[in-house]
Structure 1
């Protein structure tokens, strides 16, 4: 059996983590086992399930610049104690430079960098991330990406392979009965429901989303905004909602294990991100037959239904509000299996990643 060491920040319920779990559940575990090296000192949402599937979880020091000496010392010891890891697969974009550098120093033969985004968060590590981006090709032996634009961003002119951000599509198919049940549970029976799923962070541009929704309320007062997720911008966004006096119209739902059901309660999905790779939530929303409005910073590779509109962030609030209603008026269709063979359906795509590992293992042998 091949044991793959996946390097992540943590395994909470977020886009790439959910994508990894989708593959992990489906992959042939008689041949391949996933283990996880996280960079947070706590257990995460998926840890119990990982362990139930036979996976192991390790907790490395956080990737703060002041921690780098201690981090590399920890990683050196880790690889000395775990020679079984001959394939390391890192998912933290430009920051993958650090675990992959440690793996290279330890003599790990297969080191995979996986690109999940098309830009960088502008945080205190921004300049370091730019440097790591320039250096990533010097420490990886193989390159994967969630989409063409994400691959070009991280690897520039180097060759890479696309592995779709696939999901368990059947969990998200539109279901009228479940929709009625969920809307009743949330008190939304007579409401127009705008939804968003994503980390409350700079990247997702929730401030603009709330501004859009505030304008939308002027045309449709019986509207509700559902925000699913947590993040560092939560308190700032709650203050914005309070300043607009729409606290009774915006529901912060936090992290949820019933996201597939929450899509059923929505009428339209809005995602005005500053940048994205291939957003898993955009895939999920389409399988739920939700009308979707994405910013033009979301790669159009995500689109596989006709219920998608891409709008420039430079467009005014009126344009965004008008398109919310226009795409909604096109109507949510009754569930169809016409896209069951989409590359974003895990039933179709899980063998793509499985075959990558099996081929790489031949090189080791």
Structure 2
């Protein structure tokens, strides 16, 4: 018997939060029963593409998403007509998911899942366009998923939805002093305080404010280092700001990593000053690694799995106040929190079984 093939519709499979979440599930489902394929909107090879192909997945390419474009919609129609094997589409395009869902419905795809990964959108010129298309999602979707309550409430406006945890392989993140020393040595770090962050360099992650915070930390602890894992369009701007403040030599831009769990071992405290989030995978990872965390009050409280590890700080507070709290939290000891992660449903073993069974139950096979 051939596996059920589920089509995930994404921008591209880089090492972002939702993409990492998808790969966590993909690695742990029974691929003899359910197989993931991907419809992507970029023509370059992304970070996870090679692994997807190695796991038996297929990657299909279409043009960039322009929601009002007739030619884009026609391209989607042609795709679905050429691929009638896809009876389940799972769309991860947030506000603009209604475009693919509408075409999928017109083409007779019976199961159409919209998945919310965020609790807001950038307040730029595209905001009201996104809001317009967002309101159409429930009209075309048969199933609604969200990474957390805040993300589901925001996107689906009162409609019933299912929370699908941003689960991780929690055992991989368990703190190891030996691993921490190995990674710190590779980064030329010794006894310095290491402030860490993982995330794309884009506006919601608020790297500009993070640099201001680290500037204040440097005043108090001149040997402190900032370890930034990730990449993105805003990286050059952040690097320039660090140079202007005279702290560039104390910041490690680690780039996109395949060993985030090891990079976290080298950190002493994790800082997450986001402007908005759905339910960030990196916060689950940081707590699994036993890292004390300081997060903004704009990050959903439901991501707090281990209360004594996390301090919530107001974004309206000054960088100096943030710096003082971070230095205090950095004194906390590192201990394992695997049991807490599992008890809250964030361990991938059980979560993947649930999603696999959901697809099978809804596939009609």
TM-score (norm 2): 0.96
Partner of 1:75: 76
- Give the Å deviation of 1:38: 0.7
1:331 to partner: Cα distance? 2.2
Q: 1:112 and 2:113 equivalent? A: yes
Q: Which residue in 2 is equivalent to 1:193?
A: 194
SS in 2 for 1:339: helix
State the match for 2:177 in structure 1: 176
TM superposition shift of 1:173: 0.8
Maintained 8 Å contact 2:217/2:327: no
Q: Which residue of 1 aligns with 2:57?
A: 55
Aligned to 2:85: 84
Q: Structure 1, residues 259-304: CA drift from partner, whole Å, max 9, x if none?
A: 1110000010001000001100111111110111111111111111
Secondary structure, counterpart of 2:112 in structure 1: strand
**Equivalent pair of 1:117/1:276 in contact (CA under 8 Å):** yes
Secondary structure (helix, strand or coil) at the match of 2:238 reads helix
- Residue 327 of structure 1 is matched in structure 2 by 329
**Alignment-derived partner of residue 237 in structure 2:** 236
CA contact 2:170–2:338 (8 Å) conserved in 1: no
- Whether the 8 Å contact between 1:61 and 1:70 is mirrored in structure 2 is no
1:4 touches 1:86 (CA, 8 Å); kept in 2?
yes
SS in 2 for 1:329: coil
**Of 13, 16, 19, which aligns to 2:18?**
16
Residue in 2 aligned with 1:27? 29
Q: SS state of the match for residue 113, structure 1?
A: strand
Local SS of the residue matching 1:41 = coil
Runs of at least 4 residues off by over 4 Å: none
Structure 2: distance between partners of 1:263 and 1:319: 24
* Residue in 1 that maps onto 2:264: 263
How far, CA to CA, are the matches of 1:88 and 1:191 in structure 2?
48
State the 1:65 CA deviation: 5.2
Where do 5+ consecutive residues of structure 1 fail to align?
none
Q: What TM-score do the two structures reach when normalised by structure 1?
A: 0.96
Deviations 1:65-108 (A, max 9, x none): 57x22211111110111000011000111111111111112111
Number of residue-to-residue matches in the alignment: 361
The residue aligned with 1:354 is 356
CA contact (8 A) 2:6 2:36 kept: yes
Tell me, in whole angstroms, the C-alpha distance in 2 between the residues paired with 1:328 and 1:167.
Answer: 24
Structure 1 residue 121, shift from structure 2 partner: 2.2
* Structure 1 position 123, deviation (Å): 4.1
User: 1:121, 1:82 → 2: CA distance?
Assistant: 34
| Contact map agreement 1:285 1:292 (CA 8 A) in 2 | yes
DSSP-derived class of the 2:158 partner: coil
Using the alignment, how far apart are the partners of 2:51 and 2:263 within structure 1? Answer: 22
Which range moves more in the overlay, 14-23 or 324-333?
324-333
Indicate how the Cα distance of structure 1 residues 75 and 65 shifts in structure 2: closer, same or farther if over 3 A, else same: closer
Query: Following TM superposition, by how much is the alpha carbon of 1:336 offset from its aligned partner in structure 2, in angstroms?
Result: 5.1
* Separation (CA, whole Å) in 2 of partners of 1:358 and 1:142: 14
Aligned to 1:251: 252
Contact 2:26 2:36 in 1 (8 A): yes
Name the Cα RMSD after superposition. 1.3
Secondary structure in 2 matching 1:227: strand
User: What SS is found at the alignment partner of 1:73?
Assistant: helix
Given that residues 288 and 338 in structure 2 are in contact (C-alpha distance below 8 angstroms), is that contact kept between their aligned partners in structure 1? no
8 A Cα contact 1:163 1:352, kept in partner: no
Q: Distance in 1 between matches of 2:53 and 2:285?
A: 25
SS of the counterpart of 1:107?
A: coil
User: Residue 309 of structure 1 is aligned with which of 308, 311, 314?
Assistant: 311
In structure 2, the gaps of 5 or more residues are none
Secondary structure of the residue aligned to 1:309 is strand
Structure 2 contact 305–341 (Cα < 8 Å) conserved: no
Please give the secondary structure, in 1, of the residue aligned with 2:60.
Answer: strand
Residue by residue over 1:301-320, the C-alpha shift from the partner in whole angstroms, topping out at 9 and shown as x without a partner, is 11111201111101122221
